[in-house]
Amino acid sequence: MIVPFNKPFHTGNELAYISESLKSNKLSGNHHYSKMVKEWMFKKHGLEGVFLTPSCTAALEMGALLLGIGPGDEVIMPSYTFTSTANAVLIFGAKPVFCEIHPKDMNIDVSKIESLITSKTKMIIPIDYAGVPCDIAEIMAIANSYGLAVMHDCAQSYGSLYKNEISGRQAHLSCYSFHDTKNFTCGEGGALVVNEAFRRERASFLMEKGTDRSRMLKGLQEKYSWVDKGSSYLLADILAAMLLSQLQAEDEIKKKRQELVNKYYDWVANLKFAQQLLVCQQDENKSSNGHIFYLILPTRNIRDRFIEKMDLSDIAAHIGYVPLHSSSMGTNLGYKTEDLPITEDLAGRIVRMPIFTGMTDDEFNYTISNATKILSSLLT
């Protein structure tokens, strides 16, 4: 049996919606299906100010542009994240300032944020690793007391809940990913959520190449023209058609993935060497969308050998992010590996187990029985 790491899920409605979109002859951004997706997000989660983008990377960039991030600014973020989080501010000339993560959930360690704030700090970008919400209320409290903006990178957490509200509604701006590695996908896609109403009109200009075309489409004026900076940050409507079919299946997809995560937790709890393994701590205020299940093994060497042996059994288990501060780009920016010892240590020991919505019982059982044998051979 071959167990892949991920396999995009098909809800069954994708082709019908895509075919409708084709027939409409309106394939570019902000047409029928984009509106349907936004209406769906509002109805399901109360999300307003949603701008569908070609990726989460584009959403992060659009957010940084909207907030006027520029040369001389500092932006605090975890080093344990994807390159897009840092690039979103770096490309505008700002400096990413890397913060440690907390071993309880691999998200930014809130207690270490304040010591990084300087007179140049403009923004904090926390992420929700594995789909598990970060401590966003505490982060907002710090940001508000220093007058900083928060752009929440929810690339992995569409559908996750923080105090019973979707992750992405709490910060000034939030970004989702609908890449095919994510729970809900249209191949490549994303969204910027502008939670502050007063910023939404300007966001609509930035996304449409710096024009006020959105006002024309609303019937507020006859023509549109160049009014601001901008770029092309629109998701094609034909992709929004696919996305709608996925978001409409949110409850089914989430239930399946949460069941898989819970089965992984039960598996670990029953292992005789469970105390040598670290898993994400569960928190009653947070409900993950089941995006990732990971283990932290005792050493980097054991982690690497575990992945190799799983691979020999045709099971794809993966490492997590490679810390940004110690990457070659991070080093060029002046960071040293030893600047963030906790991040470096945890990132060297993490392994992500295969998980996908269509995972069968046979695939799951094959995975855990092989993983149990391999762990028994590596741990004493």
Ligand X SMILES: Cc1ncc(COP(=O)(O)O)c(C=O)c1O
Residue 361 tokens read as 């019982």
Return d(Cα 70, Cα 287) in angstroms, integer: 35
6 binds ligand X (CB under 6 A): no
Q: Which of 110, 127, 261, 351 binds ligand X (CB under 6 A)?
A: 127
172 binds ligand X (CB under 6 A): no
Residue 100 tokens read as 């440690």
Residue 310 tokens read as 């799983």
Q: How far is the CB of 280 from ligand X (least distance, A)?
A: 16
R_g of the chain, CA atoms, integer Å? 21
Do 379 and 276 form a contact (C-beta atoms < 8 A)?
Answer: yes
% helix, strand, coil for the chain, step of 5: 45, 15, 40
Say how many CA atoms lie within 13 Å of 36 toward its Cβ.
Answer: 18
Return d(Cα 152, Cα 150) in angstroms, integer: 6
**x/- track of binding to ligand X for residues 189-218 (CB under 6 A):** -x----------------------------
Q: Decide whether 99 or 127 has the Cβ nearer to ligand X.
A: 127
Part of the chain binding ligand X (CB under 6 A), chosen from 39-47, 102-110, 151-159, 312-320? 151-159
Q: How far is the CB of 176 from ligand X (least distance, A)?
A: 8
The β-bridge relationship of strands 95-99 and 190-194 is unpaired
Q: Decide whether 60 or 194 has the Cβ nearer to ligand X.
A: 60
174 binds ligand X (CB under 6 A): no
Return d(Cα 285, Cα 92) in angstroms, integer: 35
Q: Which of 84, 107, 167, 245 binds ligand X (CB under 6 A)?
A: 84
Number of residues this chain uses to bind ligand X (CB under 6 A): 14
Q: How far is the CB of 321 from ligand X (least distance, A)?
A: 7
Residues forming contacts to ligand X in the complex (CB under 6 A) are: 55-57, 81-82, 84-85, 127, 153, 155-156, 177, 179, 190
